[in-house]
Structure 1
Amino acid sequence: MSAISAHADSASTSSLTLSPLVVTATSTEQNQADSLVSVTVIDTDSVKKQQPQELSELLASQPGIDIVTNGGYGKSTSIYTRGSSSTGTKLLIDGVPIQSHSTGSSSWQYLPLSQVERIEIVRGPKSSLYGSSAAGGVIQVFLSETGDSEAGDEPQASIAFGGGSFHTRQANASASGSSGNASYLLSVGTFDTDGTEVKENAGDMGYSNDNILSRLGYEFDNGAYAKALIMRAEGQSDYTTSAGRLRSNDYVNQVIALTGGIDLTADWQSEIQLRESRDDSDVLNDKGIKTNSYFYSRSRGVRWSNTLSQGSHELVFGAEHTQDDFEGSYTKERTSKSVFAQSLSQFGQASAQLNIRADHYDEYDTQTTGGVALGYQVDAVHSVRTSWRTSFTAPTFNSMNAQEWGYTLSNEIRPETSKSFEVGVRGDYGDGYWDLAIYQADYQDLIAWSASTVGNIESARVRGLELTTGLSIDQWSFGLVATMMDTENLSDGAEKGNRLTRRAHKSARIDVDRHFEKTALGFTVASYGERYDDSKNQDLLSGYGVLNLRASYDFARDWKAELSVKNALDKEYQTAKGYLNPGRGVFLTFNYTAF
């Protein structure tokens, strides 16, 4: 921070640059520096230069984020944000929520990285805007957009292909453009690997992902617009059962959305979205034949949102209706109806944000959540913020039906709720920034699974400190993230005072890149401290650090070669007991861009 401040002292106020635009924190566009809650942006440049194979590589050691995987590529992945449960981080794909209603979490491991353009991470509760499953935060993934409107009728096309360690092969192709008021994008991709050893002496576990993304857009002369989106990923991911039998998940992840908007007046914009998401899986045996184990999870919904703007004041209000359906070893469905409102106001150097939302499920009482956030611009570069927010997470279908698999319910499963308080301070300069946040989250009724029981943890507390900095000097760019977090089970009983499972006490991330005329070099170090894998705090997993190296070279017109070395020091580590993560891997990709 001292380096950033010293560099900023030599810069005039006129040299200050706008921070990235974000939409997830408020559902409307605002500068990241103006956000009254903590937000991390992984922009297009960062996504491309890190050359990731999985989403977890981009999220690793980001502030407040814990990642737990059952091994290597395409294996079960859980995200814990600010100490919330694995069901407390909501995944949005271009505004469409997607999750398995059996486990309550998302299939993060199946999201095709070739289609990802940008990621926004909002830390802290956002149930007052997005409803259930946002107790810890919201991660919104933005897929590739249509062609540049300034290109007119000129089409754009690109292809990428490559491979590397573990017999990995990948290829992607896309075409986009616009004609008059219409725009389009079509992208297809495939990723296939023999995988690595997930459990000792169990052999390599393969993974494949075939995906397609299609977008269509049209802007009418009166300012109205219509958009269509289809994203589908399907493939297989091998694993072994506790009895050592080889199995494979034959999965489908799909998002469909139809969105239309219009300016009802000069100050009133209205938008409606029809959407459907799928998270399906069939279990195959070692001969590729379907077993009787499967789940089909679907969510259909409509969201109506309105934005009223008047000077330095903005009001957002709307409603949602969602139908969730699940079919597997049991069949279940539920309906939710929601209304929400948000106000954003600027009073000179001060700003305020108010949120309230009511969600009515047909299974239990209406859940009302809200939040208050205040900010103050101290001077041209420094700002402070504070917020208080509440949240809830609906019980998963699995937790409500756990007795079918021999578990004992320690109580009638209740929704998880939380209250969170945060204070942050930020500095934004011409070539760098820093952001410091401290918070406390008090959880009630966290749903926890043990060896034989399922039930609510009566009370838990999470306290944390997060630091994020970034600096660009000439052709160098630097990024540093550090998190310290203390979790504690406050419920009466033998586990009172224990740390919550699978949440690391500390983590850090360093990104360094150097750009030359035709070449770029960089590295990332992502590290986590020790964590417990059980609620009794007996199974301690050691901390670790992973080094990833990268390089790119524009070797000919429209051609680029990219080389990455993942886990360059061949570190052995586990994020879940008994599951091994991939060792050193080397990957080479060629990219061609036409027009």
Structure 2
Amino acid sequence: MSLNKNKIALFFAGLFLLPLSGQELPRQVSDSFPTQDLEEVVISATRTYRQLSSLPLPVTLIPKAQIERTGVTRLNEIMAEQTGIVMTPDATIGGGEGVQIQGVASDYVLILIDGVPAVGRSSGNLDLSRFALGNVAQIEVVKGPSSSLFGSEALGGVINIITEEPDLERIRGSISHRAATFNNQNTSVNLGRKYGKTGVSFFADRLSTDGYDLAPADQQQTVNPFYNYTLGGRVRSEIGKTLDLLVSTRYFAQEFDVDPGTSEETDFNSLLRATHHVGERSEWQYELYYTRYTTTEETVDPIDETQRLDNDFDQRLLRPEIRFTYDFKGPFQLIAGAGYAFERLDRSLFDGQVSFNSQYLFSQLDFRPVPRLNLIAGARFDHHSVYASQLSPKFSARYDITDHLALKASVGSGFKAPDFRQLFLDFTNASGGGYSVLGKEAEVRGIQRLEDRGELASLAVARSELGIPLQAERSVGYNAGFRYRKGILTGEVNLFRNDFRNLIDTRILASKTNGQNVFGYLNRDRVYTQGAEVDLQLRPWPGLRLNAGYQYLLAFDKDKRDAVEQGRVFARDPGTLEAVRLEEGDYFGLENRSRHTLNFRAFGEVPRWDAFANLRVTYRSRFGLADLNGNDLLDITDGSFVRGYALVNLALGKTFLKRYQWQVGANNLLDFRGTNPLAAQDTEVFLNPGIQLFTRLSIQL
């Protein structure tokens, strides 16, 4: 149900009634980064500026220098090298990739650009290769439930891309071109200048490739030729002593060569933010954000030129938000805010246009009761037009035992609203045998339509179960560990557990007369992920930095684990082909999760030669893609496992005449390819295209 206009007015007016002191207090927050300790300042974890080393939460910071030295140009490439973060191939739906944090799937990881959300997910995955890195100042990753500040989709974590801001009264920036295997050509221009109290920046990026084909027996390439470009700009101006204005925009367009047919994609973001400094310690921020993501996909049969698929997708989000920050006298800081989100989706696979609207309030108190103890308590309330209201609290603590050793812990609740697909999808795959998928809101109408046409053979569920509303998925996440920092060594250990309930899963609703099924959605699963992360950084001498990270992960469905422990699950022995009862150790866990992941990074500089080199290694132990033996869980007898593998990336670079930098390198230096165990024998698809060589020339302005 939607709120009426009076309720909307009262909702926003309520925020302005927060207590506000009229005295002049020191100003703390602005849109620009503080100049001191730039690389250790983060804003995503608390929505206020904090030193990375002082946070009570598990946070990963990737600075611009690290991005540039690796030679990578897209967000998915740099994320794959971080501890506890895995880019997961989804071979069951055609090779898409998702980002996994602490074993939590990409559906539950929120992607932000300068603090505002990106939209446009395909089967839950948001394609991180859409985001170019040429104008990125740093990337911040908050692990664990973050719905207390960011709402739905943040119950597994947040990735925030922070773009650069000009700080000099002269043109500054870079121009670069990168050429790589598969005729991959990437040109990037990033320029900025400050005119008095106004900073202006411009960014342009173009990427094209011939793609590659890992399955010659198939008619289509594994990755079709494509080109895309990104245009961005921002203007930030200080008006007097009390007002800052920020206007930023980004436009991304991509086109694939899928002859006969078309595939186009666009992504537009626009942000207007005004910051009013009421006093030296307090400020208001007024934000208006709009984003639109579209795809147009049409597949034509190459033989008779008939249309096989027409998939248009048009998602829009308009979100005004107000935030208030206040530093009390003493060790207290308060941030509070409210917002209203209007979301609409037009999709050819839906029966008409669908829309959501939601309102939310959030508040967080950051305080130090004693000098060595930092406590952060916050909560967010979301009211949605479709699903029930949600309250998401979070509490974090950090205690400095010594100047070098600190303990930290956090517990928080998160949620994810049912998405448009799970609610409104009404799809029949004519080219795939005629199966159908119905979102919860389309179940009753879709089943009735099949009955009227004489296409329904039998119902697999009671008719009274059709259309029962989906509940929001919820989780409670725990993180605890310690951080040690002294001299050349920095180490961090983090133990985590994420408990989920009401996870939305698919089920069979009915059988059709053609032998195919009708699928729907329901709240069913209770799952958990738990494990440990270790991060070490060593600087044995100036110019050399060594990093190593390891994650141990367990991820299980509680109901399926209980069924195995109770001896109620069987599988066919691969050797004898006899049915055997599974034991507890035979249940491997959730799909696409590896027990062990490791990474090692070595960054070295030779100032005398103006040269640098880096070696990055990532390892992922074996994982399973799907249940193939029909017992509804992934066990050791399933034939869908991908063997463990390591990827080795190398980059070398040298600076000439102070402004020109040349890089050469190789990603996947060991030429790992792998196989997809779900592919048919005559269309074997590798998981990786093999070694990719690159060279890059950049000019610093």
- Normalising by structure 1, we get a TM-score of 0.90
- Tell me: CA distance 1:94–1:575, structure 2 relative to 1, closer, same or farther (3 Å): farther
Residue in 2 aligned with 1:490?
Answer: 558
Residue in 1 aligned with 2:616?
Answer: 524
> 2:86 pairs with 53, 63, 66, which one?
66
Residue in 2 aligned with 1:511?
Answer: 601
Paired residue type of 1:263:
H
**2:664–2:696 CA contact under 8 A, matched in 1:** yes
Could you say what the CA RMSD is over the residues aligned between the two structures, in angstroms?
2.6
Residue in 2 aligned with 1:381?
Answer: 404
Verify: 1:332 aligned to 2:354, yes or no: yes
- Tell me: CA distance 1:221–1:277, structure 2 relative to 1, closer, same or farther (3 Å): same
Verify: 1:429 aligned to 2:486, yes or no: yes
1:399 aligned counterpart, secondary structure: helix
Residue in 2 aligned with 1:370?
Answer: 393
- Tell me: CA distance 1:201–1:549, structure 2 relative to 1, closer, same or farther (3 Å): farther
Measured after TM superposition, the shift of residue 238 of structure 1 is: 5.6
Equivalents in 2 of 1:281, 1:289: separation in Å?
20
**1:99–1:107 CA contact under 8 A, matched in 2:** no
Equivalents in 2 of 1:171, 1:576: separation in Å?
36
Question: Which stretch shows the higher mean deviation, 131-140 or 246-255?
Answer: 246-255
Measured after TM superposition, the shift of residue 530 of structure 1 is: 1.3
Equivalents in 2 of 1:188, 1:563: separation in Å?
22
Measured after TM superposition, the shift of residue 18 of structure 1 is: 9.2
Paired residue type of 1:489:
D
2:87 aligned counterpart, secondary structure: strand
> 1:439 pairs with 492, 496, 505, which one?
496
Equivalents in 1 of 2:675, 2:134: separation in Å?
26
Residue in 1 aligned with 2:532?
Answer: 465
Paired residue type of 1:571:
F
| Cα deviation 1:302-346 (Å, max 9, x = unaligned) | 111111112311011010110111111222110010000000001
Residue in 2 aligned with 1:263?
Answer: 277
Residue in 2 aligned with 1:176?
Answer: 192
Verify: 1:88 aligned to 2:108, yes or no: yes
Residue in 2 aligned with 1:6?
Answer: none
Residue in 2 aligned with 1:14?
Answer: none
> 2:203 pairs with 187, 190, 200, which one?
187
**2:505–2:525 CA contact under 8 A, matched in 1:** no
1:113 aligned counterpart, secondary structure: coil
Equivalents in 2 of 1:300, 1:128: separation in Å?
20
- Tell me: CA distance 1:396–1:94, structure 2 relative to 1, closer, same or farther (3 Å): same
- Tell me: CA distance 1:226–1:199, structure 2 relative to 1, closer, same or farther (3 Å): farther
Equivalents in 1 of 2:39, 2:177: separation in Å?
33
Question: Which stretch shows the higher mean deviation, 446-455 or 372-381?
Answer: 446-455
Measured after TM superposition, the shift of residue 574 of structure 1 is: 5.6
Equivalents in 1 of 2:116, 2:316: separation in Å?
12
Equivalents in 2 of 1:510, 1:385: separation in Å?
25
Equivalents in 1 of 2:343, 2:214: separation in Å?
33
1:62 aligned counterpart, secondary structure: coil
Residue in 1 aligned with 2:181?
Answer: 165
> 2:674 pairs with 573, 582, 593, which one?
573
2:182 aligned counterpart, secondary structure: helix
Equivalents in 1 of 2:198, 2:471: separation in Å?
48
2:389 aligned counterpart, secondary structure: strand
1:196 aligned counterpart, secondary structure: coil
**2:554–2:589 CA contact under 8 A, matched in 1:** yes
**2:388–2:471 CA contact under 8 A, matched in 1:** no
Residue in 2 aligned with 1:593?
Answer: 700
Residue in 2 aligned with 1:220?
Answer: 239
Higher RCO structure, 1 or 2 (CA under 8 Å, sep 6+): 1
> 1:294 pairs with 312, 324, 330, which one?
312
**2:354–2:424 CA contact under 8 A, matched in 1:** no
Identity among equivalent pairs (%): 19
**Correspondences of 1:24-103 after superposition (within 5 Å):** 24-69=44-89, 76-100=96-120, 103=123
**Larger strand proportion of the pair:** 1
| Cα deviation 1:62-93 (Å, max 9, x = unaligned) | 2322212358xx97321122222321000001
1:568 aligned counterpart, secondary structure: coil
**1:75–1:109 CA contact under 8 A, matched in 2:** no
Measured after TM superposition, the shift of residue 101 of structure 1 is: 6.0
Residue in 2 aligned with 1:7?
Answer: none
Paired residue type of 2:553:
M
> 1:119 pairs with 126, 139, 142, which one?
139
2:107 aligned counterpart, secondary structure: coil
| Cα deviation 1:363-391 (Å, max 9, x = unaligned) | 02101110111110011111001111100
Equivalents in 1 of 2:76, 2:646: separation in Å?
14
Equivalents in 1 of 2:195, 2:149: separation in Å?
36
Aligned residues, how many?
567
Equivalents in 2 of 1:519, 1:429: separation in Å?
28
**Correspondences of 1:220-239 after superposition (within 5 Å):** 220-237=239-256
Verify: 1:407 aligned to 2:467, yes or no: no
- Normalising by structure 2, we get a TM-score of 0.77
**2:320–2:340 CA contact under 8 A, matched in 1:** yes
Report the structure number with the largest CA radius of gyration.
Answer: 2
Residue in 2 aligned with 1:564?
Answer: 665
**1:387–1:423 CA contact under 8 A, matched in 2:** yes
**Correspondences of 1:333-348 after superposition (within 5 Å):** 333-346=355-368, 347-348=370-371
Equivalents in 2 of 1:575, 1:273: separation in Å?
45
Measured after TM superposition, the shift of residue 53 of structure 1 is: 3.5
**1:530–1:541 CA contact under 8 A, matched in 2:** yes
1:56 aligned counterpart, secondary structure: helix
2:421 aligned counterpart, secondary structure: helix
Measured after TM superposition, the shift of residue 38 of structure 1 is: 0.2
Equivalents in 1 of 2:677, 2:64: separation in Å?
31
**2:97–2:125 CA contact under 8 A, matched in 1:** no
1:365 aligned counterpart, secondary structure: coil
Equivalents in 2 of 1:367, 1:24: separation in Å?
21
- Tell me: CA distance 1:399–1:41, structure 2 relative to 1, closer, same or farther (3 Å): same
